[in-house]
């Protein structure tokens, strides 16, 4: 799926997968290019942080949810993550 963003957009608003393209947020200098999977969700309703982990190299990064993110899908993913613990 193609995700159009603003230079800092780092994940799909529907499935929450990302691509490992940054060393520092927005620089697009990472050479890995692996898929980054959502591995955790923290915070409260007004301040939600998600954590992605690259499935190729293991790199992790925290990100805030963004306008347009599917909160229904995020809740579904949180339930899946909690059931795997």
CA dihedral 43, 21, 29, 31 (to 10 degrees): 130
**CB of 65 within 8 A of CB of 52?**
no
Q: How confident is the model at residue 6 (pLDDT cuts 50, 70, 90)?
A: low
pLDDT above 90 coverage of the chain, percent: 35
Q: How confident is the model at residue 80 (pLDDT cuts 50, 70, 90)?
A: confident
**Taking the CB of residue 81, how many other CB atoms lie within 10 A of it?**
13
Query: How much is the pLDDT for 38?
Result: 94
- Asked if the model's pLDDT at residue 35 lies above 80, the reply is yes
∠ CA 4-56-7, rounded to 5°: 20
Q: Can you give the pTM of this predicted structure?
A: 0.81
Q: What confidence tens digit (pLDDT) does each residue in 38-54 have?
A: 999 988 877 889 999 99
């Amino acid at each position: 799926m193609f995700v159009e963003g603003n230079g800092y957009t780092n994940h799909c608003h529907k499935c929450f997968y990302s691509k490992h393209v940054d060393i520092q947020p927005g620089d697009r200098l990472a050479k890995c290019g692996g898929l980054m999977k959502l591995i955790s969700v923290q915070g409260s309703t007004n301040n939600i942080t998600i954590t992605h982990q690259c499935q190729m190299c293991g790199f992790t990064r925290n990100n805030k949810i963004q306008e347009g993110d599917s909160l229904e899908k995020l809740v579904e993913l949180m339930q899946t993550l909690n059931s795997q613990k």
